[in-house]
Amino acid sequence: MGLYRKKITTPCGLLTLLCDGRALVAIRFGREADGEATTGTMQACPGAETRKKEIPAQEVQTAQEVLAQAAREIGEYFEGERRVFTVPTAAAGTPFQQAVWNALKKIPYGETRSYGEIARQIGHPRASRAVGQANNRNPLPIVVPCHRVIGASGALTGYAGGLDIKVRLLELERHTPRRHSCSAPENASNR
């Protein structure tokens, strides 16, 4: 299976979306070390499964669809129109990391939780430091909203894209108007 990428420009800078041919596996901030790609293009990552003579057409098509969906949903998020992501994801991690990342997905849009609250939620009340480490290793920032986790005192702590981006994401969510009850139900559009 190949690894595919798509670079998109957002209000928080350049993001690189990575897909394994089935699901979104990573989102990276800024420029990758292997050079720039034209924004909005899909490329197979250099060295990714290049030993295979032929990549199945279905894999390429699925990767294009997943990357397009991820780009669209992230764009909608930054426009204040999306609160829940539905793009298929497959983040590699330990069972503990997976538990933390699943808990992050349950933090409501516009709200925050502390590392200790997440530790208690996943049944490891003394593991707030380990929760912080798992949060730091989240390969899918924004889609798996690790920016919504703060220190117990309410202080903002580290973020892969930098604290300035964490602040911008939290501000975006705090200032996005709530939808009126006359609008379509969230479940209908997943937005």
Instruction: Give the up-direction half-sphere exposure of residue 158: CA atoms within 13 A in the CB hemisphere.
Output: 10
Q: How many residues does the chain have?
A: 191
Q: Measured between alpha carbons, how far apart are the two ends of the chain, in Å? A: 31
Q: Name every residue whose Cβ is closer than 8 Å to that of residue 41 and which is 6 or more positions away in sequence.
A: 6, 7
Q: Name every residue whose Cβ is closer than 8 Å to that of residue 118 and which is 6 or more positions away in sequence.
A: 100, 103, 104, 128, 131, 135, 149
Measure Cα distances from 11 to 78, 111, 131 in Å: 7, 21, 28
**Residue ranges of E strands in the chain:** 4-10, 13-19, 24-29, 42-44, 113-114, 149-150
Of 52, 57, 63, which is closest to residue 18 (Cα–Cα)? 63
The interaxial angle of helices 128-136 and 95-105, nearest 10 deg, is 80
> Is residue 146 flagged as an active site residue?
yes
Catalytic residue among 12, 45, 146, 182: 146
Tell me which residues are annotated as active site: 146
